[in-house]
Amino acid sequence: MQDYRELVVKLCDMLRPFNKDGIDLNEETDLAADLGLDSLKVVELLLTIEDSFDISIPLNILPRVRTIKDFAEQLQQLLSERS
CA 29/CA 6 separation, integer angstroms: 16
43 binds other proteins (CB under 8 A): yes
33 binds other proteins (CB under 8 A): no
Name, in order, each residue with C-beta under 8 angstroms of 80's C-beta and a sequence gap of 6 or more.
1, 2
Nearer to other proteins, 10 or 41 (CB): 41
Among 22, 24, 60, 83, binds other proteins (CB under 8 A): 60
Among 22, 56, 81, 83, binds other proteins (CB under 8 A): 56
Which of 11, 67, 6 lies closest to 35 in space, CA to CA? 67
Q: Assign 30 to helix, strand or coil.
A: strand
58 binds other proteins (CB under 8 A): yes
39 binds other proteins (CB under 8 A): yes
State the distance between the two ends of the chain, measured CA to CA, in whole angstroms. 8
Sites of contact with other proteins (CB under 8 A): 38-41, 43, 46-47, 54-60
